[in-house]
Structure 1
Amino acid sequence: MRRSAAGLLLALALLLAIVHAYYPLLPRWLAGAAGWGAGLLLLPDLASRVRWQAGILLVLGLLGLLAGWRGGVAVPWQQALAGNSLLIAMLTAVSFLRLISEPAADAAERPPRGRRALGSTLLGLHLFGAVINLPAVFIMADRMRNGGRLSSHQVVVLTRAFGACAFWSPFFAAMAAALTYAPEARLSAVMLAGLPLAALALLGTYWQLRRHAESIQGFPMHYGSLWLPGLLALAVLVLHGLWPTFSVLALVSTLAPVLAALVLALRGQATALGRHVRTGVPRMVNELGLFLAAGVLAAGLGALVPLWFDELPVGAFGPPMAAASLLLMWLVALVGVHPVVSIAALGALVAPLEPDPNLLALTFVASWALGVTCGPLSGLNLALHSAYRIPALDLLRGNLAYGLLMMPAVWVVQFTFFG
C-alpha cells in the first residue's frame, strides 16, 4: 500500500512537471511536493549507503540556505523543493519504456561467441541501454552468463557499453541532470560532442577484447527490435528541432509514457501501465532520494554563492576549468559520490560565471559516463555486485585504465568543440 501510494505520487509529480513545462503559471513546487511525498513514503526502502549520502546532502543544503538567509539572500525555497522535479519526472517517464522495449532473443538460441558476437553485444546493449536504462544490463547479463558466472571480460562489456550511453542519450538520467543544471544547453550540440566519445568507448573496448572474443559469451541480438530506440531518438531530435525553445526534458517526459501507453493498448496490455505505476515506479527509490537531496544541496550552494562569489578563486569557465572539473568529478565518483551530486554542486558554483552551457553540459554527461563505469560504488556496479557477486575491486580494476584513457579523449573534445 505504501509503495503503491508512492508510485501514484510519482506519477502525479510527472504529470504536474509536464503541465508546468507547457503552462508555467502552474507552480513548480506542486510537482516538487508530490516528489517529496513519494520520497518520504519510500524512506524505509532507501539503501543505507544512499540514506547516509542523501542525509549529508540535505544537512549541507539546509545549512547553506540558512547561511544565505542570515546574509540577506532571498531563500530559493522553490528550487530546494522542486529544483530537480523535471529530472525526476523524466526518470519516471523513461521507466515506462521498459514495458515495450527489450532486446529480443530466442530462448532456445545459444549465446554466440566470436568477434562478430562481441561487437553485436556491445552495440546492442549500448542502444537498448540508451533507452530503457539499467534493465537492459540485467536482461543481457542473465542470458550471457547462461546459468554460470559472468567473466571479467563480460563485466567489462556490460559496464562500458552501458556507461557510454551517458555521453549522448536523451533518455538517460545523465542528460536530464545536465540539462537541468545547464538549462541553456542545446541537445543537438551535446549529442554531437558526445556521440564520438561513445563510439570511441565502444571501439576501444572491442579492440581491447578482440583477442579474447572466442571465450566471451555474448547476447544473441536481433536488430529488428531496434526500431523503438531509433524511433524515440529521432522523434526527440525532430521535435526539438521544430520547437528549439521547448524543454527537452519535457519532450522526453511527454513522449515516453504516451508511446508506451499507445503500444500497450495496441497489444491489449493496457493494464500493465497501472501495475507499473504501483510496483515498477517505486523501485527508483535510491535515485529519487539522491535527486531530491541534490536539489536541496544545489539550492543551498546557490544561496551561498552571492555571499562568497567575489572570494571564490575562479575565473571564466572555459575548457581548462571544464577539464579540471571533469577530473575532480571522476575522482570523487571513485570514492562513492554519485555524479548527480557533483553535477548539482558544480552547476550551482559556476552559474554566476555564465559558462558556455554546451561545454558545461558535456562536462556533466562525461562525468556521469566515466563515473558510473569506473566507480565501484555507482548504482550500476553495486547492482552488478549484488546480483552476480562480482567483487567491487574487480569492477574498479577492470575499468580504471579505461577511465584514465577516456579522460584525455573528453579533454580533446572539450578543447576542440569549445576552445
Structure 2
Amino acid sequence: MQSRFFPAIPPPARRDALAGILLTLMIAASVAPGVSLLPAGLLGWAAALLLSYRLGRRQRIQSAWLIGLGGAGIAWGTLHGTPFKASPIFASNQGLVSLLAAVSFLRLVARPGGMDLDLPAPRGRKALWRTLLGVHLFGAVINLSTVVILGDRMATRGRLGKRRALALTRGFAAAAFWSPFFSAMAAALTYAPGARLSVVVLAGLPMAALALWLTTRDIDPEDPKLGAPFIGYPMRFSALWIPGLLVLIVLTVHALVPDWSILAIIAFSAPLLTILILIAQRGFEAWPPLREHIARGLASTVNELALFLAAGVLAAGLISVTGSLGDWLPFERFGAPQASLLLIVMVGAAALGVHPVIAIASFGVWLAPLHPEPNLLAITLLMSWAIGVPANPLSGLHLMMQGRYGIDGYAFLRWNAGYVLKCLGVAIALLHVYAALLGA
C-alpha cells in the first residue's frame, strides 16, 4: 500500500537484498577487536525486521515471547535499581549472530560430493560410516545446508526412510559437541567467558565419537529386521581441504592474536576464505555467486537470526532481574553434580520443545555470579545442545526434515529416546571426569 504519507513496502526480493547488505555490514562491524558490538547489533536487528515476512507463525510467537519476557525483566530490574543499558539488549548475542551469517558463505565453496551426481549410491556398513562422517565433518563447518545437500541426494521420490533420516540428523547434531563453527560453540563461549577453545573441543570429541558409534548400532544396515537396506551418499572426502584450511587459519590467528575472540576470527575468516577460493577458481566470475548469496542466501538464515536476537533480549532481561535479586543463587558452587543436574534439566527442556540457545542464555546468565569454572560450564552447555537437539521435536533440524521430507518431528522424539538417554548417561560420567581434571 502506498500513499503520500507512507512509502511502499519494498517487494520481497528487495527486502532480501537490503537485509543481505546489512548482514554483511554487520559481520564487518563485529570482527574488529576492542570495538563496541552495539552498531553490529543494530544492523542485525534492522536485517531481521526486513526479513520478518519470512518467519513462520511458530517462529514469530516464540520470538515475541522471548522479547516480551526479556523486556519485562529489563523493566523489573530497572524499577528495582539495576542501571539500564542498551548494549546488552541489542548486542548480547552478537558474536553468535555474526558467526551464523559468516559461516553461511562457506556453502559457496564447500560441497561434500562435488558435482558428480551420477555416481552410484553406496550401500551397507561402509556407506553408513562414510555418510555419517561426511554429514558430521562437513556439517561441522557449513552447518544445516549439509543435511539438505546429502538428504536430497539420498531421498527416494522425495522421502527418506528412518535409517537415512537418523544417520543425517544424528551425525549432524553430534558436531555440536566440538565444532568451533557451530552456533552451539558460539553460545557456549558467549555464556562461559574465559573457556579455552582447545580444551572444550578436545572434551567434546569423545562424546561425538560415542554418538556416531551409537547411531551405527541403532541403524545397522546389515540387519534385515530394521527395514530397507541403507543407501548412503557418494562422499568425496577430498573436499575436506576447505574446512581443514579454515580450522588451521582460525587456530593460527588465535595463537598469534590471543586477545581476538574466536568468534570474531571465524566471522572474519570464513567470508574471506570463501572470496579467495572463488577468485582462485573462477577469476572474474567470482562476483556473481557472492552477489547472489548476499542478495538471497543470507536471507535464509532469518529463523536462526530472529531466535538468537530474541534470546539476547531474554538474556538481557535475566541479567537485569538477577542484578536486582542481591546475593541469591541457584547453587553455592558449580561442580560435577551441579553440571550434571543442569544438563538433565536442559535436555528435558529441549524434549519439551525449548530451543537450546534459550536454555543456554537463561542458565548462563543465572550462573554467572557463581564464577563457575568456564571450561566445565562450556562443556556442559555444548552437551546440552548436542544431546538436546535430537530430543527436541521442534528443533530447526527436525522441522526442516518434516517440511522437506515429510517426517514428523515427534517421530524423531520416539526414535531418539534411547539414544538420548545413553548419551546423557555417558555425558554425566564424563562431566565428573572433566571436573576432576579441571579442578572444579
Whether these two folds match at TM > 0.5 is yes
Change (3 A) 1:290 1:3: same
Match of 2:138 among 122, 128, 147: 128
Q: TM-score, normalised by structure 2?
A: 0.91
TM-score using structure 1 length: 0.96
> Per residue, is there more helix in 1 or in 2?
1
Partner of 1:3: 16
Q: 8 Å contact 1:102–1:132 — kept in the other structure?
A: no
Moved more, 300-309 or 124-133: 300-309
Task: Give 1:223's aligned residue.
Answer: 237
- Can you list the C-alpha shifts for 1:284-326, whole angstroms capped at 9, x where unaligned? 1111111111111111111111222433442111111111111
Q: How many residues align?
A: 415
Correspondence for 1:182 among 192, 204, 208: 192
**4+ aligned runs moved over 6 Å, structure 1:** none
Q: What does residue 203 of structure 2 align with?
A: 193
- Residues 21-56 of structure 1: CA deviation (Å, up to 9, x unaligned): x2x2x4321111111111111112112111111111
- Distance, in Å, in 2 between the alignment partners of 1:231 and 1:161 is 22
Does the aligned pair in 2 maintain the 1:145–1:217 contact within 8 Å?
no
Say if 2:423 is the partner of 1:406. Answer: yes
Match of 1:291 among 308, 333, 338: 308
Letter in 2 for 1:9: L
Map 1:119-158 → 2, pairs under 5 A: 119-147=129-157, 149-158=159-168
Q: 1:70 aligns with which of 63, 79, 89?
A: 79
Q: 1:203 aligns with which of 210, 213, 217?
A: 213
Give the letter for the 1:237 counterpart. Answer: L
Match of 2:181 in 1: 171
Match of 2:91 among 67, 82, 87: 82
5+ residue gaps, structure 2: 1-13
CA deviation profile, 1:126-185 (whole Å, cap 9, x unmatched) = 000001101100111111124352111111101110000100001111111111111211
C-alpha change, 1:272 and 1:212, in structure 2 (3 Å) is same
In percent, how many aligned pairs have the same letter?
Answer: 46
| Equivalent position of 1:357 in the other structure | 374
Equivalent residue, structure 2, for 1:50 = 59
Q: Hey, what does 2:6 align to over in structure 1?
A: none
Query: What is the rounded CA distance, in whole Å, between the counterparts of 2:242 and 2:160 in structure 1?
Result: 28
User: Does the aligned pair in 1 maintain the 2:191–2:360 contact within 8 Å?
Assistant: yes
Tell me whether 241-250 or 298-307 shows the greater mean CA deviation.
241-250
Q: Residue in 2 aligned with 1:275? A: 292
Structure 2 residue 242 is matched with structure 1 residue 232: no
Q: Whole-Å Cα distance in 1 between the matches of residues 345 and 373 of structure 2?
A: 19
Alignment partners' CA distance in 2, 1:331 and 1:232: 35
Q: Paired residue for 1:38, among 47, 55, 59?
A: 47
- Letter of the 1:154 counterpart: R
In 2, the alpha carbon distance for the partners of 1:234 and 1:39 equals 32
Contact 2:330/2:367, CA 8 A, preserved across alignment: no
- Residue in 2 aligned with 1:243? 257
RMSD: 1.4
2:117 to 99, 107, 115: 107
Equivalents in 1 of 2:386, 2:83: separation in Å? 35
Match 2:30 to one of 14, 17, 22: 17
In 2, the alpha carbon distance for the partners of 1:294 and 1:11 equals 21
